[in-house]
Copies of this chain bind each other. A is one copy, B any other.
Amino acid sequence: MNERSFIYWGMQKENAVARKLDEEKRSRILTAARDAFGAEGFQKTTIKGIARATGIAQGTLYTYFRNKEQLFDEVVDEIWQTFRGGLEKISIENAAIAEKVAKFIDFCFDLLIQIHPLLRGMYTEANRRELLDDKLSVICRHIEELFTRPDGSPIVYGERSVETRKFNINVMVYGILFRISLTKPEDLSTVINELKNALMQALSESVLPGIAP
């Protein structure tokens, strides 16, 4: 008795025999959607195109997602969950600030490679733009926390004002993302590496001397 038959057996109580909603298919749709939305934006992306890329019928898409909008939102949400999860894990670690920041940067840039096309997709529609802005604010706040002691004092030395510190973080996050989202696919890994190195270097030259490798 293999795993599949076990699944069917486990379901028999409620559902005698039938084909089940295929989690793998759902996932395939999400991936295709992520690519498509990223490549063309929300408007230009067609359901037909996603369906073709996934290898399923157009109609089937609507078994898994209510409509194009929901599909988009799910794509965004999936990524966001991933991000939040990783962030959480790093945050609660008990390590030196330099190490945590380094890990955080690693994690973010790795994720960026996966999601980068979607940034564009989120950008296209007014209502989704707000969504994106919200998420980015959350990220910025997380980073601020990373650099702040429980008592509110900044962890890293540096005589800059709170406003300037916030501004720097903000501009950094938005700037890197924008830069990446504008990058052509073929240049992506180069640009991401350059940015990452430059960021590390910049940090080590100013607030976090210990971070450079």
Helix, strand, loop or mixed for chain A's interface? helix
Separation of A125 and B174 alpha carbons in the complex (Å): 20
A82 touches B (CB below 8 Å): no
Cβ of A202 within 8 Å of any chain B Cβ, yes or no, is: yes
Q: Residues of A at under 8 Å CB distance from B? A: 2-3, 5, 7-9, 12, 16-18, 39-41, 43-44, 57, 120, 123-126, 129-130, 132-133, 136, 159-161, 163-164, 166-168, 170-179, 181-184, 195, 198-199, 201-202, 205-206
Check if A123 sits within 8 Å of B126, measured CB to CB.
no
Decide: A171 and B164 in contact? CB cutoff 8 A: no
How distant is the Cα of A166 from the Cα of B167 in the complex, in angstroms? 18
CB-CB under 8 A from A44, the residues of chain B are: 43, 124-125
